[in-house]
Amino acid sequence: MKQLITGDEAIARGAWEAGVRFAAAYPGTPSTEILENIATYPEIHSEWAPNEKVALESVIGASIAGARSIASMKHVGLNVAADPFFTFAYIGVNAGAVIITADEPGQFSSQNEQDNRNYARAAMTPMFEPSDSQECKDMLIEAYELSEKYDIPVLIRMTTRVCHSKGMVELGERREVPIKPYTKNIKKYVATPANMRPRKVGIQQNRELLKEFSNNCPWNRAEYNNTAIGIICSGDCYLYAQEVFGETASYLKLGFTNPLPDQLIQEFASRVDKLYIIEENDPYIEAHVRALGIECDGKNIFPLNGEMTPEVIRKVIFGQEYPLDEEVQAAVVGRPPTLCAGCPHRGLFYELGRRKGVMISGDIGCYTLSSGAPYNAIETTVCMGASISLGHGAQQIFDTIEGEKPRVVATIGDSTFFHTGINSLLDVAYNRSKLITIILDNRITAMTGQQENPGSGYTINREVTEAVDIEALVRAIGIHNVRTINPNDLAQVKEALDWALGMDEASVIITRWPCALKKQAPWDLEEFKGAFTGKYYVKEDVCIGCRRCTRTGCPAVVFDFDRKKSTIDADKCVGCSVCAQVCPVQAIQKVEA
């Protein structure tokens, strides 16, 4: 049976068919839907981990214990998991293990555009690069065979387009793979220098066998048409090249790209007149082709950044380019994402963004949007957890300067705090900086689409579980000044900021209110009584058109520039009341039930 599914769904299906029993991940676009879909198969134990390193380490454990297992993450997630990843290649597997990296050429929703194929080369792990949904599934199943045969974890490199595009996939059945017995094997699993030196030699020996595989596997194949032009490509670039050249060119389509197939490349290069390497991001294949002494055109003509779409290829090769329609472009205005109506971050950033003499370090999550209008609040974003540690370092330096010393306020979400913010807060307490940390606890991992986390009280399968007590955790770390507030109450927010800024030591403010898009738990309904129940409206005759309400950045508040009056879109309003609190003339009132 065939179905139209995304690459992420195909990976999940492949994991099920391959007999996988354990899966762990931390949400991150464009990889999130992999674990969400795996979790729908009852045969696979699925877990959201606090971060990618933890996810991969638990996968290593599951593999050693004898179960086929999978860890999926976005490209920058593999940076977090890089430490176990490299040594996992040395100790190898018991049952097969696969790591999915979802890269982002074009940076749709990521802080950088790194090419994680470099990780496979650096860690010496075999690697696949699927180009469509069918290949995602097929390559994953093959990856488990390879992983077990060569005693090494396998990396599958996807990209946003592969993850989020749908293609037809032939569905198969699950093959049950029994749990392999675990036997104590200190020389293999204890990564001491003495044990790992011979393991590295073993990896290098296996690499020769993997080269054989690379030259002879069905994933690397030459398609000869007209040989005037030859194209070596991987991933979705194969589809784009086919779109542009069709049968006017020959292709060496590479699906297994570490180690690369030297003989296939040499043979293909010898049979075509002009050789192009078409790949997204870094010249990964190209560098190898050039090292083989083969002349080619690659990143000398193609861009190093962005997606390698058919348009880009046409422009580079044929000089075809469609100029932007100036008249239309002049009319178009941007539509940046905004904090939702009822977002509990709104009240905090409305107040915090107006403070003078502070530097606001930010983090990765919905609240990153507060760097834009109308809040203009956060000033730095680097990576998960960095708001606190970066803010700590900045505060240490500001404290040494003469004259007015800026206070640093770090803002971090609950899930990001659990991810890597806890370590950073240890740094603040231990090294005694006076950083003000605000933990925006909206009770869910929101940015990636409301995934459960260690604070939400549910597992990925909505089983009730432990929920972290953030306030107790923060105190245990050694922060003595801790407050939990309702961020929708602007007076509370103001008062808490005054309190923290008035002290010469570290403090933590926890803003606790659930995400408006979240499926509320029974304990949320109990704790946040009346949340998202009422609606507000504008009394037109009272409204003076000052637009203070629109400066809260709420998408439900619409200002009519002709009539100079605000209105509230009743379909969007969820009754947080922030706009009503900023109105100087009480024109915004609650709709009486």
Partner 1 sequence: MSTKNILLTGVGGQGTILASKLLTVGLIDAGYDVKMSEVHGMSQREGPVLTHVRFGKKVFSPIVEKRKADVIMGFEELEVLRNLDYLRDDGRGIVIFNRVRVNPMGVQTGQDKYPTNGEELIRARAGKVIALDGQAMARELGNPRVMNIILLGALVKQLGLEEIDWLRVIAENVKEKYVPLNQEALKLGLGLE
Residue ranges in contact with partner 1 by CB under 8 A:
2, 4, 29-30, 108-109, 132, 161, 164-168, 236, 239-240, 242-243, 309-311, 314, 322, 324-325, 327-328, 331-340, 366, 369, 372-374, 449, 517, 547, 550-551, 553, 555, 557-559, 561
Q: In what order do the strands lie in the sheet with 127-128?
A: 45-48, 22-25, 69-74, 97-103, 154-159, 127-128, 256-258
Nearer to partner 1, 36 or 57 (CB): 36
Taking the C-alpha atoms of residue 180 and residue 102, their distance in angstroms, rounded to an integer, is 29
Output 306 or 406, the one with its CB closest to partner 1. Answer: 306
Tokens of 408: 């640093």
Rounded least distance, CB 535 to partner 1, Å: 17
For partner 1, the closer of residues 499 and 559 by Cβ is: 559
Closest contact distance (angstroms) between CB of 519 and partner 1 is 13
Q: Are 556 and 341 in contact, with CB atoms under 8 Å apart?
A: yes
Any idea what DSSP says for residue 109?
S
Residue 104 C-beta: closest distance to partner 1, Å: 10
Whether the Cβ atoms of residue 381 and residue 431 lie closer than 8 Å to each other: no
Closest approach, Cβ 331 to partner 1, in A, equals 4
Nearest to 294 by CA among 258, 262, 266: 266
Of 241 and 408, which has the nearer Cβ to partner 1? Answer: 241
The encoded tokens of residue 203 equal 């990896």
Choose between 2 and 519: whose C-beta lies nearer to partner 1.
Answer: 2
| Contact residues for 530 (Cβ-Cβ < 8 A; gap 6+) | none
Our CB check for partner 1 shows the closer of 226 and 266 to be 226
Least distance to partner 1, CB of residue 208, Å: 34
Report the nearest approach of partner 1 to the CB of residue 27 (Å). Answer: 12
Min dist CB 562 to partner 1, Å, is 12
Nearer to partner 1, 165 or 266 (CB): 165
How far apart are CB 276 and partner 1 at their closest, in Å?
Answer: 17
Distance between CA atoms of residues 531 and 409, nearest Å: 27
The residues, any chain, with a CB within 8 Å of residue 230's CB and separated by 6 or more, are 249, 250, 251, 252, 268, 269, 271, 272, 273, 274, 275, 276
Give dist(CA 36, CA 463) in Å, integer: 15
Question: Based on CB atoms, which residue is closest to partner 1, 166 or 211?
Answer: 166
Closest CA to 12 of 141, 160, 186, 193: 141
Rg of the chain (C-alpha set): 27
